[in-house]
Amino acid sequence: MSSNNQYELSFAFSKAPEAGQLQEILPGVDWVRLPLPFALDHVNCWLLNSATESCLVDTGVNMPDSLNCWDSVFKQRALPQKLLVTHFHPDHSGLSGWFANQDTQVLTSEIEWRVVTQLNSIQTLDYQNFYVKWYQQHGIPAGYIEAVSKAGNTYKRITAPPADNPQFVKAGDKLELAGRSYTVMTGQGHAPDMIMLYCEADQFLIAADQILPSITPNVSLTPNVSDPNPLGSFLDCIERLRALPKETLVLPSHGLPFRGLHQRIDFLQEHHRLRLTEIEQALSVERNANDLFSVLFKRKLDNQQMSFALGETLAHVKYLELESRVVETVRDGLSFFRAIPA
């Protein structure tokens, strides 16, 4: 890779607001940062407001710390009339049902909402068995399997029961929210149909998790994902974002708002190209997915990160398999991978 200088970003703010405090990004666009109980310890939410309407983008997880932050915010501002949920992950959708109970209209993707409702409805034993079987198939060590077998439905634990009557939006829709016009864009790879909002008049993009300034979005292949090539879908999506102006202000769900969208796209494309090369080289001998973690991840993985790591590893391997560069062999219910000689 060339010097990182070519990927340098320009940050609009040097630091984030304190949890539950409002930071104005533009007139009528406020930034709220909420704590998360994970290694990734925060999520950014965006409060769009005008004299006649307000719309919140994403919610945080259903935990007391999040609710305390919103209590602080809504001592300064009225509850929003609308809530746009970008995608199904609990740090984005976890309190959507709580807001719906306050008479906030929920807007989201029909595909994403289907996942929200499915994950909330899975019984504990089925949720556990899904992960245990998946981990066993790919050689995950027994300690992680034991942990996931005891964890229960961790998704449902940090999400409120979902709203019954969301309004669905799709790519290409034009939305009038709090005095501004937005074009709905969708992202794939990290989530099946993640909503992004682009405001052409003021050239800013509410990017959700599709483009992040300091970490790479997790791109996962899991047995219940309908997309057979999530990494390919992710790369296609970020290339589509190149059509937006270079000076676009990006409002990400994690990290600081920034300019330098095209540089970040370049970095992500190069990052995944290098990872694919590293995996292909490592598969000169047959390995399972667990054997590849040392190639991709330079830190010890905690229990919560393991599913992300396995999904991301398999997304890269599947991309290579679809390019006829890697082949999978299943023996006694275990999956092994090997590069196909050129």
The DSSP secondary structure of 60-87, one letter per residue, reads --SSHHHHHHHHHHTTTSPPPSEEE---
Across 15-31, average pLDDT: 97
Per-residue pLDDT tens over the stretch 126-166: 999 999 999 999 999 999 999 999 999 999 999 999 999 99
The proportion of the chain whose per-residue pLDDT surpasses 70, expressed as a percent, equals: 99
pLDDT(41) > 50 = yes
| Pairwise CA distance, residues 83 & 75, whole Å | 18
**Structure token pair of residue 200:** 């052409």
pLDDT(189) > 60 = yes
The proportion of the chain whose per-residue pLDDT surpasses 90, expressed as a percent, equals: 95
pTM of the model: 0.96
Per-residue pLDDT tens over the stretch 209-232: 999 999 999 999 998 888 999 999
pLDDT in the model for residue 69: 98
pLDDT in the model for residue 3: 43
Percent helix, strand, coil in the chain (nearest 5)? 35, 20, 40
Do residues 104 and 56 touch, judged by C-beta distance below 8 A? yes
Buried b (16+ CB within 10 A) or exposed e, 123-153: eeeebbebbbebbebbbbeeebbeebeeeeb
Across 112-116, average pLDDT: 97
| Pairwise CA distance, residues 91 & 4, whole Å | 30
Across 98-124, average pLDDT: 97
pLDDT bin (cut points 50, 70, 90) of residue 4 is: low
Per-residue pLDDT tens over the stretch 298-317: 888 999 899 999 999 999 99
Across 117-124, average pLDDT: 95
pLDDT in the model for residue 32: 98
Per-residue pLDDT tens over the stretch 82-106: 999 999 999 999 999 999 999 999 9
Do residues 165 and 113 touch, judged by C-beta distance below 8 A? no
Looking at every residue in the chain, the average pLDDT score rounds to 96
Structural domains in the chain, CATH included, are 11-261 (3.60.15.10)
